[in-house]
Amino acid sequence: MIKRMNKLPIDLPVPAHGDANSAAAVQELLGGRFGEMSTLNNYMYQSFNFRNKSKFKPFYDLVASITAEEFGHVELVSNTINLLTTGTTFPGPPDIAPLQNGLNKRNTYHFIATAQASLPGDSMGKSWNGDYVFNSGNLTLDLLHNFFLEIGARTHKMRVYEMTDHPTAREMIGYLLVRGGVHILAYAKALEIVTDVNLAKMLPIPNLDNSRFDYSRKYIAQGLDNILYTWSETEYRDIDRIWKGTNPDTGQPLQVVFGAPEGYPIPNLDDLPEEFAPGITIDHYVEIAKRLGFTGIY
């Protein structure tokens, strides 16, 4: 089971103005082949189907704990996309075409299908699909695949960062570059234990340090490139048999934190009357609140 928290892992800045075309590009980091939906579902099914969990518990704990973090990454990227559509359209009667500014945006699905919110798909509108999940059952092969998957995800994050200068998008990407680097190193260390091959010598791939990205630097300064969370106060503690020693890039000690980061509030999305979302008038809301037994929140 996963215990859900109503938080995001970072304080995501709410913009005064969005950038719908940046939102379309960021979709790749959510529902693309190397997006967060792929990392989540790959590790989730590998953890569900992991054979001989008791004998290989440190490796099971690693995959399972990273699964939980990836859920939060899916939520973070989705909220970033939601904020990037801010201010694109305007309220008004249907005949003045209040959604007209969405007509020439790269992803019109954002304006037609989801009321300017995230989609489970890539930057070109293709839906995410289960064919992106790899779960061979072979421990070495699955770990090697995860190492590759995280490097592919890192590459795409770097490219989208270079496509947009929107501060909300870059804040999210800067953080995920750091956390993705942790996952790459974690799978490299796991593979070294299994195979005695030091894949960490290959890193970073691409050959560009995270410190080159301005929005990553504060997360590096916080030491988030050295921390692996269990995402449970009592379970998955054997990841410390893998996540130990020092970070090969910085020489700083690696640290396992039992539990999860404190988190930050999830931005509230305002009504979009031109999208009929949520489609509840103030009078209707008052009636609903009364039926729910709420008072004094009108």
Binding site feature residues for Mn(2+): 36, 70, 73, 150, 183
DSSP string, 95-136: GG-TTGGGTTSS-THHHHTSSS---SB-TTSPBP-GGG----
Binding-site residues sit at: 36, 61, 70, 73, 150, 183, 232
Residue 43's identity, in one-letter code, is: Y
Strand blocks (E) in 195-267: 227-229, 255-257
Cite the annotated binding site for Ca(2+) by residue number. 61, 232
- Other residues' Cβ atoms within 10 Å of the Cβ of residue 133: 15
Rounded Cα gap, residues 197 and 190, in angstroms: 10
Closest CA to 242 of 182, 196, 179, 187: 187
Distances (CA, A) of 9 to 82, 116, 179: 16, 23, 11
The total number of residues written for the chain in this structure: 298
Q: Do the beta carbons of residue 75 and residue 260 sit within 8 Å?
A: no
Distant-in-sequence, close-in-space partners of 132: CB < 8 Å, separation ≥ 6: 33, 37, 38, 41, 42
Q: What is the CA radius of gyration of the chain?
A: 21
Neighbours of 114 (CB within 10 A): 17
Tokens of 27: 């979709």
8 has which bridge partners? Answer: 264
From the list 119, 178, 145, 127, the residue with the least C-alpha distance to 46 is 145
